[in-house]
Amino acid sequence: MEHVGMTGVRLEARDLALLEGEEGEGARLAMSVVARMADVVRARELLDISAAHIDSSLYQGPATLEFAERLAEGGARVRVPATLNVSGVDVGGWRDWDVPSSWAEPARRQMEAYEAMGCEPTWTCAPYQTQPRPRFGEQIAWGESSAIVFANSVLGAHTERYPDLLDICCAITGRAPAAGLHLTENRAGEVLVDLSGVPRRLAEESALYPVLGHWIGLRVAGWIPVLDGLRARPEEDDLKALGAAMASSGAVGLFHWVGLTPEAPDRSAAFQGREAASRLRPGPEELRAARDELGSGLSDADGLDLVVLGSPHFSLSEFAALARLVDGRRRHPGVRLLITTGRAVRALAGKAGYLDAIEAFGGELTVDTCILTTPMLPDGIRRLMTNSAKYAWYTPGLLDRAIAFGSLADCVDSAIAGRVTRDDSAWSAEP
Q: What is the pLDDT of residues 250-271, one digit of tens each?
A: 999 999 999 999 999 999 999 9
pLDDT for 1 beyond 90: no
pLDDT for 174 beyond 80: yes
| Nearest-angstrom CA–CA distance, 315 and 340 | 10
389, 211 in Cβ contact below 8 A?
yes
Of the ranges 133-137, 299-303, 379-383, which one carries the lowest mean pLDDT score? 299-303
Residue of 401, 314, 374, 416 whose CA lies nearest to 103: 374
| Nearest-angstrom CA–CA distance, 75 and 53 | 20
Residues 263-269: contacts with CB within 8 Å, 24+ apart? Answer: 263/156, 263/187, 264/189, 264/226, 267/192, 267/226, 267/228
259, 269 in Cβ contact below 8 A?
no
Task: Give the DSSP letter of residue 303.
Answer: B
| Residues 303-326: tens digit of each pLDDT | 999 999 999 999 999 999 999 999
Using CA atoms, how far residue 197 sits from 192, 279, 286, in Å, is 13, 13, 11
224, 191 in Cβ contact below 8 A?
yes
254, 155 in Cβ contact below 8 A?
no
| Residues 344-364: tens digit of each pLDDT | 999 999 999 999 999 999 999
Q: What are phi and psi of 136, to 5 degrees?
A: -55, 130
Query: What DSSP string runs through 160-201?
Result: --BPTTHHHHHHHHTEEES-GGGSGGG----EEEE-TTS-HH
| Nearest-angstrom CA–CA distance, 407 and 409 | 5
